[in-house]
């Protein structure tokens, strides 16, 4: 099964699903009222084959999540409202989310000062608190995360380097699982080769 999501001009999430044999749904389904920015970023990640989690930064700069268990045909956002994961970010900021395993989620957002913040979830400790892991002074950068294995993350940060004719500089940092929590050591980001570009999204 495949699912596609977008945030409409009213700040509501809509989706279509594709299943083998039936193909794509004819209509877009609304996930109901949400606290999100109209036309904002929405990130979907599947922690196992029966569940999908959505993440987005709301109009108040806090991160929200809604999830669905396919076998129950229910979205938590419709039943109990979108869950607030706190944070103090720019409204509608991009949220990067990955699943390191069936019950391990990691979320990253760039703060208003350009530093990257990390939040993780596991079934024992549940959601923790946001931790700052370094970064840059570019609050309009772009962050993405790659899962190397169930205990290792590699986070990439793209920022604008105005000293090099608007080049895009890419940085990388690696985190390791320590007692169910990802640790990023001394928060040292390794610079990768700059990419000469006029703009990026």
More confident residue, 118 or 30: 118
Is 104 found in the same domain as 174?
yes
Does the pLDDT of residue 198 top 70, yes or no?
no
What is the number of structural domains in the chain? 2
Mean pLDDT of 136-162: 90
Is 79 found in the same domain as 22?
yes
Question: Which DSSP symbol is given to 11?
Answer: S
In this predicted structure, what is the pLDDT of residue 180?
Answer: 78
Q: Please tell me the distance from the alpha carbon of residue 74 to that of residue 51, in angstroms, as a whole number.
A: 10
Q: Please tell me the distance from the alpha carbon of residue 37 to that of residue 56, in angstroms, as a whole number.
A: 9
Is 116 found in the same domain as 30?
no
Last residue of a domain, one of 93, 124, 143: 93
Please answer whether residues 145 and 96 qualify as being in contact, where contact means their C-beta atoms are separated by less than 8 angstroms.
Answer: yes
* Model confidence pLDDT, tens digit, residues 46-80: 988 888 999 999 999 999 999 987 767 778 877 78
Last residue of a domain, one of 39, 70, 93: 93
Is 106 found in the same domain as 185?
yes
In this predicted structure, what is the pLDDT of residue 201?
Answer: 47
Does the pLDDT of residue 13 top 60, yes or no?
yes
In this predicted structure, what is the pLDDT of residue 69?
Answer: 78
Show the domain range for 169. 100-201
Last residue of a domain, one of 59, 93, 127: 93
Is 160 found in the same domain as 200?
yes
Is 106 found in the same domain as 66?
no
In this predicted structure, what is the pLDDT of residue 189?
Answer: 94
In this predicted structure, what is the pLDDT of residue 162?
Answer: 64
In this predicted structure, what is the pLDDT of residue 150?
Answer: 87
Is 104 found in the same domain as 193?
yes
In this predicted structure, what is the pLDDT of residue 153?
Answer: 95
Mean pLDDT, rounded, of the chain: 88
Is 115 found in the same domain as 22?
no
pLDDT confidence tier of residue 97, bands split at 50, 70 and 90: very high
Is 140 found in the same domain as 66?
no
In this predicted structure, what is the pLDDT of residue 166?
Answer: 66
In this predicted structure, what is the pLDDT of residue 130?
Answer: 96
Q: Please tell me the distance from the alpha carbon of residue 5 to that of residue 154, in angstroms, as a whole number.
A: 25
pLDDT confidence tier of residue 34, bands split at 50, 70 and 90: confident
State the DSSP string of 84-124: E------TT--EEEEEEETTEEEEEEE-TTSEEEEEEEETT
Does the pLDDT of residue 165 top 60, yes or no?
no
* Token code pair at residue 96: 């990067």
In this predicted structure, what is the pLDDT of residue 59?
Answer: 94
Give the C-alpha distances (Å, rounded to integers) separating 92 from 75, 88, 89, 95, 195. 21, 11, 8, 9, 26
Is 82 found in the same domain as 105?
no
Is 146 found in the same domain as 167?
yes
Is 163 found in the same domain as 188?
yes
């Amino acid at each position: 099964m495949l699912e596609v999501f977008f945030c409409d001009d009213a700040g509501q999430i809509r989706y279509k699903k594709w299943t083998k044999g039936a193909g794509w749904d004819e209509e877009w389904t609304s996930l109901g009222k949400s606290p999100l920015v109209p036309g904002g970023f929405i990130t979907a990640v599947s922690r196992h084959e029966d569940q999908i989690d959505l993440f987005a930064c709301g109009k108040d700069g806090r991160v929200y999540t809604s999830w669905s268990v396919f076998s129950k045909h229910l979205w938590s956002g419709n039943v109990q409202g979108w869950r607030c994961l706190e944070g103090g970010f720019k409204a509608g900021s991009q949220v990067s989310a990955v699943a390191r395993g069936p019950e391990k989620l990691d979320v990253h957002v760039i703060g208003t000062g350009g530093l990257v913040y990390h939040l993780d979830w596991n079934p024992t400790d549940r959601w923790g608190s946001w931790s700052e892991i370094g970064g840059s002074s570019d609050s309009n950068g772009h962050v993405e995360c790659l899962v190397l294995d169930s205990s290792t993350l590699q986070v990439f940060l793209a920022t604008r380097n105005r000293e090099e004719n608007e080049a895009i500089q890419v940085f990388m940092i690696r985190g390791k699982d320590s007692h169910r929590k990802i640790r990023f050591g001394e928060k040292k980001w390794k610079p990768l080769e700059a990419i000469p570009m006029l703009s990026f999204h």
